[in-house]
Structure 1
Amino acid sequence: MDQTDMTRILPEDCIANIISNTSPRDACRLSLVSRAFRTAAASNLVWERLLPSGYQEIISRSPVSSASSSSLNMLPRKDLYFHLCDNPTFISNGNMTFAIHKWSGKKCYMMGARELSIVWGDTPQYWKWTYSADQSPHLPKSRFSEVAHLLHVCWLEIKGSVETKTLSPNTTYGAYFIYTIGTRPYGLCHPVKVSLSIENEIDGEATNAYLQPITWRDHRPRGQDGRLPCVREDRWMEIEIGEFFNHGQANNVLEMNLWETEVGEWKSGLVVHGIELRPKERKK
């Protein structure tokens, strides 16, 4: 029996039920099979199942007007799915965002600088907080209302944490430090340490990372390997802090750390945007 005969025999709800047990990527691909598959693949039944669990509660906690929240819930589920992929929703008093990873349907979070623990972060002589509207045009546009500018410290330590129950289960996540380098930086050529661990358990192994891209003028000590930053589409830079597999069987607190406390050299010019948690693409 060919595909055409099958779509004539099976009811649309049955086809939709089959598609709902695949993935968002496969649902989009299957919509190209035939007109019947296209109709079924666009149904609310399919996309309600492909939306991550708890998404309605997350939307309701967003600091937007109740009217906006209601209008989102009135969208067809497929439209809502892709809206949440392309438009991060603010939570935690606007200091975090929630979004959906487009091809897997997994939850993504980004903690803004205000959601992080920055040593001496509230001391004006060491750190300066700038509202996005007042940012220099030379800096990338921030999704949050404030970013943190490093003015002058010798002890750099930044931490973020998130409860694992808020993440998608059975998913490998990457944690990324999002930042840029401002004007006239100094003291940032030395490697920093990054690590990821579960609270109250043995700390994860620390790894070297470089905040500044390595150029031919940089002199990295022989044998001193480390992660290098890459530039994102939004013009911010990111360094991977580590990866974590969320079994989803228990609620723990995942801690993400970046620090440089050994060299003792004074530092300036770092602009902190936040830390992002997103599913890692499976290697084929």
Structure 2
Amino acid sequence: MDITIEAVLPEECISAIISSTSPPDACRCSLLSRIFRSAAGSDLVWERFLPPDYQQIISQSESSVSSLLNVLPKKDIYFHLCRNPILIGNGNTSFAIDKWSGKKCYMLGARELCVIWGHDARYWKWVSSAESPVFAQSRFSEVAHLLHVCWLLIGRRIETNILSPNTRYGAYFVYTLVGDHFNGFDRPVKVSIKFENENEGNATNDAYLLPDTPGGQNGQVPRRREDMWLEVEIGDFFNGQVDRVVDMQLGETRVLNGKSGLVVHGIELRPKE
């Protein structure tokens, strides 16, 4: 007589076993049988896959969003956060999770970045994303539109304790260029990422911002995202168990040619495959 695992183990034990795997494995297990589908969809499993402090992070979002998420099953919370980044804090930072691993993803909106001369209306214009149909839809209320500079420098420092530990992260500059009105980006810009007060990762590389830059260049080339913004990689780093500060920068301060038409959405940090 054949004896199945469902007949030997209670559903709670099956859930405990599945919770030690991964989100993709849990989804595969749900196809095996009715018992496995129930076990794989349980709160016990998906609570394990969510970041340990996800409830604290959700509480920093708008009350309507927080109230909605808190009543959902854990599996639904997981996939909601995969597909729908939520705004937290002052609304200039978004939080999501990587659908394959459950690791944290953050995007720092333009208002959260250090933009040289960003508060000088002669050089930069802060534009309401809702009132700017020429731009790709932004998740933030404002984007930064470059009018004209010769010295371009955009960056941000963050503490790595907000990220998932033991994870390699990539930092990506998210932007677009306005129609035929951009100028000065036929040359690469410089990108760098490093830990503060350490030499690790202290390398400066070339990055191209023009969307039609062919591959094979000696530097990072941009790609079009699903949300229609462009992104180019600033660099990557491994976030271990020790809390550190990582410094990310993008700029062009040597050629000093006139630059215009850049629209800054933000910098996104997400796990690398």
Distance 2:93 2:164 in 1: 17
- Per-residue CA deviations over 1:191-229 (Å, capped at 9, x if unaligned) read 10001111122361000011113458xxxxxx9722111
Distance 2:100 2:182 in 1: 38
Q: Which residue of 1 aligns with 2:264?
A: 272
User: Aligned letter for 1:240?
Assistant: E
Runs of at least 5 residues in structure 1 that lack an aligned partner in the other structure: 217-222
Distance 1:276 1:53 in 2: 21
Q: Percent identity?
A: 61
Q: 2:95 aligns with which of 98, 101, 116?
A: 98
Q: Which residue of 2 aligns with 1:200?
A: 197
Q: 2:159 aligns with which of 158, 163, 177?
A: 163
Spell out structure 1 runs of 4+ moving beyond 6 A: none
Q: Which residue of 2 aligns with 1:210?
A: 208
User: Aligned letter for 1:266?
Assistant: G
Shift of 1:139: 1.6
* Alpha carbons of structure 1 residues 30 and 88: separation in structure 2 relative to 1, 3 Å: same
Q: 1:122 aligns with which of 103, 119, 122?
A: 119
Q: Indicate if the aligned counterparts of 2:220 and 2:233 stay in contact, CA closer than 8 A.
A: yes
Shift of 1:71: 3.1
Q: 1:181 aligns with which of 177, 181, 184?
A: 177
Q: 1:151 aligns with which of 141, 147, 154?
A: 147
Runs of at least 5 residues in structure 2 that lack an aligned partner in the other structure: none
> 1:257 aligned to 2:255?
no
Distance 1:7 1:155 in 2: 66
The correspondence of residues 59-74 of structure 1 with structure 2, limited to 5 A, is 59-62=58-61, 64-65=62-63, 67-74=64-71
Q: Which residue of 1 aligns with 2:10?
A: 11
What secondary structure is seen at the aligned counterpart in 1 of 2:6? Answer: helix
Distance 1:72 1:128 in 2: 35
Q: Indicate if the aligned counterparts of 2:173 and 2:232 stay in contact, CA closer than 8 A.
A: yes
Question: Once structures 1 and 2 are overlaid, which stretch shifts more, 42-51 or 70-79?
Answer: 70-79
Q: Which residue of 1 aligns with 2:42?
A: 43
Distance 1:238 1:112 in 2: 13
Distance 1:261 1:169 in 2: 34
Shift of 1:116: 0.3
* Alpha carbons of structure 1 residues 215 and 191: separation in structure 2 relative to 1, 3 Å: closer
* Number of matched pairs: 270
The correspondence of residues 208-247 of structure 1 with structure 2, limited to 5 A, is 208-214=206-212, 225-247=218-240
Q: Which residue of 1 aligns with 2:136?
A: 140
- Per-residue CA deviations over 1:205-257 (Å, capped at 9, x if unaligned) read 000011113458xxxxxx9722111111111000001111111x221111110
User: Aligned letter for 1:232?
Assistant: R
Q: What is the RMSD computed on CA atoms of the aligned residues?
A: 1.7
Distance 1:131 1:215 in 2: 29
